[in-house]
Chains A and B, each alone.
Chain A
Amino acid sequence: MKPHTEPGMTRSQSAMHAEDAPQIRAVLERVYEKTGMDFREYAFASIRRRVHACMVDAGLSTASELLQLIDADTEALERLLKALTLPVTAMFRDPPFYRDFRTLIVPLLRTHPYLRLWVAGCSTGQEVYSLAIVLHEEGLYERSRIYATDVQARSLERAREAIFAVGLMQDYTRNYQAAGGTSAFSDYYTADSHAAILRPFLKQNIVFGMHNLVTDGSFNEFQVIFCRNVMIYFNANLQQRVHTLFYESLAMFGYLGLGRGESIRFSPFEGRYESASARQRIYRKVA
């Protein structure tokens, strides 16, 4: 291939190249030293984009300048941390996933007298409440306990509050209906002109807690684990660690729900699961 440093190439262009990988790794190393938040085994291409976005916001053109800035300025470090952990989630995201969960998995969950479910990397709670609503409508919520964990205290706080911008409700309602909701979505919240608050009964069987998928171990045995679009931000090595954790935390014949773009196929646990919904990436532990 041609060399990266061609005549006429500007400095800001070169900042976006593979060659700034060592500088970005240095930034992630420094973030770890200063905050204990470990992004070193995150998927590099995605984390690089987020670091670059932070550089652009700060008016910087190189990752080395960003390193100097976070050394000198704790607020800049805080902003970087926020950019690196930007929550992205929605209620009933990928409605067909919830539809399949309801029609294919819920009937089998009915045989259990008591259900433990884990939403790992729950962010600001939208998936947790979506699951609670499905269980409620299927008459299973009373005997369920949902463990909702995240590494970010701020996200967990927002998840606990269950207050969402009212502008999101239109989108969530459409998702809810497409997901096979049997009620009116507006039954589940009260809204004023800018905020919607979910009804408190949805929270009563949810346990929120800090849990770091990078460093923490298994803490219970579950019939269902959801971890959707969280591991796409991890590299293959860290994904393998988390798959081990989930495998160890699932009861035999328990279900693992991943995001639509994820697969167990590229993990060492492929042979331990069978597909319960191939297209919606719901897997059943069978060995």
Chain B
Amino acid sequence: MIVVGGSLGGALALQRLLEPLPATFPQPIAVVLHRHRDSDAGLAELIQRNVALKVQDAVDKQAIEPGTVTLAPADYHLLIDGDCFALSVDDPVRFARPAIDVLFESAASSVRLMTAVVLTGGGSDGAIGATKIESAGGQVFVQEPGEAMNPEMPLSAIAATEAAEVLSIDAIAARLLTLM
């Protein structure tokens, strides 16, 4: 399974990451993009353009399925809970709900093998979660800060982790394709 986090500029970066992946890509992909609490379902439709995989907003207790991209809905945390997605309205974590750390930490506690991707964004959300993924034996990719619209989140993740690979989005996508 692949977990992805991004903030400012994250929607475009996510699209670029997903575009090379074919509809037959077997891994489920769960995504937290920081979004305004009143942003509606339009984000999934926006990302869906030029992406072959099915893009959807998460619904509580929805089964985690291969070849789908599942976004945290506005104003909910998204968690991996066994074979299902779970949502929570617990307090924002460092002002963010959804928060990337919440997704990554729940993913690190899961029995699945995880790959995490930290994309462009302000702040440091995702850094702690990335360390959890790493110590659970997962792989962390971080977008090259020089390429990011906002390098803060990538830089925080690089500083926090021990073995994260820092690559361009295109190179990360190529690495994800090897997971097929």
B177 within 8 Å of A (CB atoms)? no
Q: List B contacts of A201 (CB < 8 A).
A: none
Interface string of A4-15 (1 = CB under 8 A from B): 101001100110
State the CA gap A6–B131 with chains docked (Å).
Answer: 13
Q: List B contacts of A263 (CB < 8 A).
A: 59-60, 62
- The size class of the interface chain A forms with chain B is 35 or more
State the CA gap A1–B137 with chains docked (Å).
Answer: 7
Task: Say yes or no: A18 contacts B110, CB within 8 Å.
Answer: yes
Q: List B contacts of A44 (CB < 8 A).
A: 81-82
Task: Say yes or no: B132 contacts A13, CB within 8 Å.
Answer: yes
Q: List A contacts of B75 (CB < 8 A).
A: 94, 260
- A-B pair count, CB < 8 Å, reads 103
Q: A84 to chain B: closest CB distance in Å?
A: 11
B127-180 contacts to A (CB < 8 Å): 131-132, 135-137
Task: Say yes or no: A4 contacts B59, CB within 8 Å.
Answer: no
Q: A217 to chain B: closest CB distance in Å?
A: 23
Task: Say yes or no: B137 contacts A265, CB within 8 Å.
Answer: no
B109 within 8 Å of A (CB atoms)? yes
A3 within 8 Å of B (CB atoms)? yes
**Chain A binder among B6-14, B21-29, B85-93:** B85-93
Choose from A4, A95, A232, A279 the contact partner of B136 (Cβ within 8 Å): A4
State the CA gap A44–B79 with chains docked (Å).
Answer: 10
Choose from A2, A43, A88, A260 the contact partner of B86 (Cβ within 8 Å): A43
Task: Say yes or no: B86 contacts A16, CB within 8 Å.
Answer: no
B125 within 8 Å of A (CB atoms)? no
State the CA gap A161–B84 with chains docked (Å).
Answer: 38
A3-34 contacts to B (CB < 8 Å): 3-4, 6, 9-10, 13-14, 16-18, 21
**Chain A binder among B45-53, B100-108, B116-124:** B100-108
Task: Say yes or no: A261 contacts B109, CB within 8 Å.
Answer: no
B41-66 contacts to A (CB < 8 Å): 41, 57-63
Task: Say yes or no: A1 contacts B113, CB within 8 Å.
Answer: yes
Q: List A contacts of B112 (CB < 8 A).
A: 1
A233 closest partner in B (C-beta): B88
Interface string of B65-79 (1 = CB under 8 A from A): 000000001011001
Task: Say yes or no: A48 contacts B109, CB within 8 Å.
Answer: yes
State the CA gap A231–B132 with chains docked (Å).
Answer: 28
Q: List A contacts of B108 (CB < 8 A).
A: 16-17
Task: Say yes or no: B131 contacts A13, CB within 8 Å.
Answer: yes
State the CA gap A49–B103 with chains docked (Å).
Answer: 11
Q: List A contacts of B58 (CB < 8 A).
A: 261
Given A17-B136, A261-B73: A229 in contact with B89 (beta carbons within 8 A): yes
Q: List B contacts of A9 (CB < 8 A).
A: 135
- The size class of the interface chain B forms with chain A is 35 or more
Interface string of A24-62 (1 = CB under 8 A from B): 000000000000000000011110111000000000000
Interface string of A231-251 (1 = CB under 8 A from B): 111011001000000000000
State the CA gap A100–B137 with chains docked (Å).
Answer: 46
A153 within 8 Å of B (CB atoms)? no
Task: Say yes or no: A45 contacts B80, CB within 8 Å.
Answer: yes
Given A261-B59, A266-B61: A46 in contact with B73 (beta carbons within 8 A): no
Choose from A16, A88, A95, A266 the contact partner of B105 (Cβ within 8 Å): A16
State the CA gap A46–B57 with chains docked (Å).
Answer: 19
Q: List A contacts of B136 (CB < 8 A).
A: 4, 17-18
A-B pairs, top 10 by smallest CB distance, nearest first, are A2-B137, A45-B81, A45-B79, A1-B113, A261-B87, A13-B135, A232-B60, A266-B61, A46-B88, A45-B106
Give me 17 A-to-B residue pairs in the complex whose CB atoms sit less than 8 angstroms apart, sorted by A's number. A1-B137, A13-B132, A16-B109, A16-B132, A43-B79, A45-B80, A50-B90, A95-B38, A231-B60, A232-B60, A236-B61, A260-B76, A261-B58, A261-B73, A263-B59, A266-B59, A266-B61
A-B contacts besides A86-B90, A260-B73, A261-B58, 7 pairs, CB < 8 Å? A13-B135, A18-B111, A21-B109, A46-B86, A259-B89, A262-B60, A266-B62
